[in-house]
Amino acid sequence: MSKCLGSSQELEQHKEKDLQLEELLAKYREQKGALIPVLQQAQEIYGYLPENVLRRIGQALNIPISKIYGVVTFYAQFHLKPRGKYVIRVCQGTACHVRGGSTVLKEIQNLLQIKAGETTPDLKFTLESVACLGACGLAPVMMVNDDTHGRLTKEAIAKILAQYK
């Protein structure tokens, strides 16, 4: 019974998302250079970019799917696979590198048992390494979703991750 309820709820959520996508496409249909903002906002709706969504965008904006695939795979921001609720971005920029950024990454990989670019099986965390977050004064740095955490030490990391449930 409860399982049934769950799936009908999921169905509702899907419908809701598809509606949002249609609104988005209606808004951008006539604009030039719309593809990237549309992809960004579609990814915000779905959490990632599933193939059927890309096909729908292509149809609506009259852009071949091959070109859309080319754009999606060019930019680091776009994802073709589901992502975790919290995205951890560990800075591997120069300032962080000389202040131990790679130790930070290793520690998180250890704690979560995933590698950079992967997502935990419970879809809670996605781990990424990025080139520079522009918070070099606080090196080493990482971001969890939109929160920046600086002056990281091996010990601090577990505590920070525990805040995200």
Residues near other proteins (CB under 8 A) are 32-37, 39-40, 70-71, 74-78, 89, 93-95, 97-99, 130-139, 141, 146-151
* Residue (47 or 150) nearer to other proteins, CB: 150
CB of 125 to other proteins, least distance (A): 19
Q: In terms of CB distance, is 74 or 122 closer to other proteins?
A: 74
Nearer to other proteins, 8 or 73 (CB): 73
> How near is the Cβ of 121 to other proteins at its closest, in Å?
25
Q: Which is nearer to other proteins, 8 or 41 (CB)?
A: 41
Shortest gap between Cβ of 161 and other proteins (angstroms)? Answer: 16
The minimum distance between CB 157 and other proteins, in angstroms, equals 15
Contact 118, 79 (CB under 8 A): no
